[in-house]
């Protein structure tokens, strides 16, 4: 799609001239990181070495799916807030068919994981960490399936960079320091301790930044997958069949045996049957049209539809006339997000298990108008709750008395700093995930948000694989969400949410971000920055976003903080004063945008624009 360069509206231009849009990326030509430009391919992800892995696959003749799989494997090996035992979600555009494929690679609750099981342990929610927090691994199966179906290279070629990394790579400071911070928890689990803490007894027990970090068990597991492919090819199997032979070895072979043995040894519930029964789901994405732009997301088993709901609500307001990051703009977007997130908290869950989530009603534009009418222009509503979407799909709400959860009382944050509130070590709203986006000149596009198995993670014996912690995203009380109660084989509602956008039926943007419950907030604002305010992708990725905490945290204790609002330091004092007057409790930070990774398609020139925000270690390479 052609690259947006339209000017902001006259009203916004006047505000900009008056200095009222302070901090807007439209006010500057240069960004802190340069934009990426390419005409052949683009690979962007959460670690520089992983981006190099993706680039190397393009150089070997792979397409965007091959490259994305290589980046996924590399980031999982580098513990970029995920491991191989986590989950992978993706949107893939196939230019040969013109279809968008949604990949559901989320693990499922194991045998014995029920509401009663966790309640008998005295828990309000499934645990945040440890073996009882684990769902079945989804990342290996999703990678192998995507590669088999839509890639063109062999598994051996695509896993080669990850195997090299597992044999040993110079660990970066972010991961090394995170291991040191979490070392007391890591010491609870013998296999994790053996991998993560090579200097036990020293003052610093984790690796030093730049030290070669070696994972021989994981390297052996990855080689077993390649060995399964090699044997299948030698036996006359096709490329696809050979890759799926590796799938069989992971989920029904000797890797399964060691994985299950060690999980149960450490107190987990996962059985061989759980692994054998799990499968990747190919799905249709859900979508909304915002001012002529079609936005595609994954279904209600993740939070993706919440961005679509918010866009439907916001289409009833003239955001451009409000001015970028003006008081009225921030307040309006915050209120719209609250309404959509309240629906997410109550109505989203695994569509493969009853009851059926009312997704048609939730994404109805008539329902959005009704929700938009609830926006109070003068004050925040701390008690906003889920609405009733059932009439908008011709049904009666069976939970008519339930969708009225009062929001918890606003908390006094005192001197809580931005770093404490948002650092992954302490801020659960920001938990987990990396992101992967890739595209090539043939038209293949991938947007992916893999996650799970982040530090500190239990490692499953001599497989080298870190376990997921996704069970904590279930709730145990139907009054909170009757669609998201744990039972064996069910997937918890997750926060993982890649995005694709099309304009005039042609690819326009692929974008994704890490950050738990903040993901669709940052992606929404990134999208609006480009669509409403004419920013380039790199400007939009670095632009000062704001973050609401007025939704139930999807992790740990599922807390909610009505009125809590994180602003960028660049927001002027008069906007801060007006927001306080509308009932907000404010916090501030220097970087509030992500990290967002994105690719925009310049249909006019036949080129690619890439963006990777200045928020973290995310990195892109293009040609």
| Ordered DSSP codes for 270-300 | --HHHHHH---EEEPPEEEEETTEEEEE--T
* 475 vs 42: CA distance, rounded Å: 39
SS3 content of the chain, % helix, strand, coil (to 5): 40, 15, 45
* 621 vs 34: CA distance, rounded Å: 11
For the cut 90, the answer to whether the pLDDT of residue 407 exceeds it is: no
- The interaxial angle of helices 216-234 and 155-167, nearest 10 deg, is 160
Domain count within the chain: 1
What pLDDT was estimated at residue 415? 29
Are the CB atoms for 519 and 545 separated by under 8 Å? no
User: Could you tell me the end-to-end alpha-carbon distance of the chain, in angstroms, rounded to an integer?
Assistant: 19
Q: What's this model's pTM, rounded to 2 decimal places?
A: 0.92
pLDDT digits (tens, 9 = 90+) for 28-48: 468 999 999 999 999 999 999
For the cut 80, the answer to whether the pLDDT of residue 583 exceeds it is: yes
Q: Does residue 404 lie in a domain region?
A: yes
pLDDT digits (tens, 9 = 90+) for 191-245: 999 999 999 999 999 999 999 999 999 999 999 999 999 999 999 999 999 999 9
Cross-strand pairs, 295: 288, 501
pLDDT digits (tens, 9 = 90+) for 523-552: 999 999 999 999 999 999 999 999 999 998
**Rg, Å, the chain Cα set:** 23
What pLDDT was estimated at residue 400? 77
Q: Does residue 176 lie in a domain region?
A: no
What pLDDT was estimated at residue 432? 55
- The verdict on whether omega for the bond into residue 456 sits within 30 degrees of 0, i.e. cis, is yes
What pLDDT was estimated at residue 494? 95
For the cut 60, the answer to whether the pLDDT of residue 406 exceeds it is: no
Report the chain's mean pLDDT, rounded to a whole number: 91
Domain limits at 354? Answer: 10-38+283-450+492-622
For the cut 50, the answer to whether the pLDDT of residue 351 exceeds it is: yes
* 548 vs 344: CA distance, rounded Å: 14
For the cut 80, the answer to whether the pLDDT of residue 408 exceeds it is: no
Strands (E), 504-606: 506-513, 547-548, 564-568, 585-589, 596-602
Residue ranges of alpha helices (H) inside 315-450 are 319-322, 327-347, 359-362, 365-372, 418-422
Residue ranges of alpha helices (H) inside 199-304 are 216-234, 239-252, 254-265, 272-277
Q: Does residue 96 lie in a domain region?
A: no
* 607 vs 597: CA distance, rounded Å: 17
Q: Does residue 520 lie in a domain region?
A: yes
- The verdict on whether omega for the bond into residue 41 sits within 30 degrees of 0, i.e. cis, is no
Q: Does residue 143 lie in a domain region?
A: no
DSSP 324-335: TT-HHHHHHHHH
DSSP 438-473: EEETT--EEEE--BBSPSS--B-GGG-PBBP-GGGG
What pLDDT was estimated at residue 403? 65
Residue 427 pLDDT level (bands cut at 50, 70, 90)? very low
pLDDT digits (tens, 9 = 90+) for 453-505: 999 999 999 999 999 999 999 999 999 999 999 999 999 999 999 999 999 99
What pLDDT was estimated at residue 514? 86
Phi and psi at residue 385, to the nearest 5° = -130, 180
Phi and psi at residue 124, to the nearest 5° = -80, -30
CATH number of domain containing 356? 3.60.20.40
| For residues 352-381, average pLDDT | 97
Q: Does residue 539 lie in a domain region?
A: yes
Task: Report which of 105, 150, 136 is spatially closest to residue 282, judged by C-alpha positions.
Answer: 105
Q: Does residue 486 lie in a domain region?
A: no
Structure token digits, residue 556: 């740990």
């Amino acid at each position: 799609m052609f690259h947006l360069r339209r000017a902001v509206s006259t009203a916004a231009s006047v505000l900009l001239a008056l200095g009222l849009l302070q901090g807007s990326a439209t006010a500057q030509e240069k960004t802190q990181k340069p934009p990426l430009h390419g005409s052949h391919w683009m690979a962007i992800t959460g670690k520089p070495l992983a981006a190099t892995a993706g680039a190397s696959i393009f150089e070997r003749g792979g397409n965007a799916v091959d490259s994305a799989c290589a980046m996924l494997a590399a980031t999982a090996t580098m513990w970029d807030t995920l491991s191989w035992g986590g989950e992978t979600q993706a949107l893939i555009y196939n230019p040969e068919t013109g279809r968008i494929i949604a990949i559901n690679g989320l693990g499922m609750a194991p045998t014995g994981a029920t509401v009663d099981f966790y309640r008998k342990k005295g828990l309000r929610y499934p645990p945040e960490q440890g073996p009882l927090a684990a769902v079945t691994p989804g990342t290996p199966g999703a990678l192998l399936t995507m590669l088999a179906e839509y890639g063109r290279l062999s598994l051996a070629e695509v896993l080669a960079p990850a195997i090299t990394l597992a044999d040993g790579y110079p660990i970066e400071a972010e991961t090394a320091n995170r291991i040191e911070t979490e070392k007391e928890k890591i010491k609870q689990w013998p296999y994790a301790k053996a991998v993560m803490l090579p200097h036990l007894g020293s003052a610093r027990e984790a690796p030093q930044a730049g030290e070669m970090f070696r994972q021989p068990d994981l390297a052996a597991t990855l080689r077993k997958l390649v060995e399964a492919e090699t044997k299948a090819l030698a036996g006359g199997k096709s490329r696809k069949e050979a890759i799926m032979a590796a799938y069989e070895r992971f989920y029904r072979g000797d890797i399964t045996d060691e994985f299950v043995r060690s999980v149960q040894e450490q107190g987990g519930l996962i059985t061989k049957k759980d692994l054998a029964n799990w499968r990747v789901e190919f799905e249709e994405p859900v979508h909304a049209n915002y001012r002529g732009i079609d936005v595609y997301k994954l279904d209600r088993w993740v939070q993706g539809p919440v961005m679509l709901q918010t866009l439907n609500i916001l289409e009833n307001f003239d955001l451009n006339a409000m001015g970028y990051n003006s008081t009225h703009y921030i307040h309006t977007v915050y209120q719209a997000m609250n309404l959509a997130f309240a629906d997410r908290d109550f109505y989203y869950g695994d569509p493969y298990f009853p009851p059926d989530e009312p997704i048609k009603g939730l994404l109805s534009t008539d329902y959005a108008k009704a929700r938009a009418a609830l926006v109070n222009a003068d004050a925040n509503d701390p008690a906003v709750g889920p609405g009733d979407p059932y009439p908008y799909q011709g049904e009666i709400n069976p939970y008519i008395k339930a969708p009225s959860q009062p929001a918890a009382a606003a908390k006094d944050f005192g001197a809580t700093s931005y770093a404490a509130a948002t650092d992954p070590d302490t801020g659960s709203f920001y938990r987990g995930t990396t992101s992967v986006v890739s595209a090539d000149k043939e038209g293949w596009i991938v947007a992916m948000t893999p996650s799970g198995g982040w530090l500190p993670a239990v490692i499953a014996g001599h497989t080298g694989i870190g376990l997921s912690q996704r069970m904590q995203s279930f709730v145990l009380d139907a009054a909170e969400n009757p669609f998201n109660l744990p039972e064996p084989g069910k997937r918890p509602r997750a926060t993982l949410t890649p995005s694709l956008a099309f304009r005039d039926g042609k690819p326009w943007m692929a974008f994704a971000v890490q950050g738990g419950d903040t993901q669709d907030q940052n992606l929404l604002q990134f999208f609006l920055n480009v669509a409403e305010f004419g920013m380039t992708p790199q400007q939009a990725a670095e632009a000062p976003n704001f973050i609401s905490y007025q939704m139930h945290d999807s992790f740990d204790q599922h807390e909610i903080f009505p009125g809590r609002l994180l602003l960028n330091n660049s927001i002027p004092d008069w906007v801060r004063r007006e927001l306080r007057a509308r009932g907000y409790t404010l916090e501030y930070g220097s970087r509030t945008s992500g990290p967002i990774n994105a690719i925009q398609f310049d249909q006019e020139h036949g080129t690619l624009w890439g963006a990777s925000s200045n928020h973290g270690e995310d990195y892109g390479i293009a040609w």
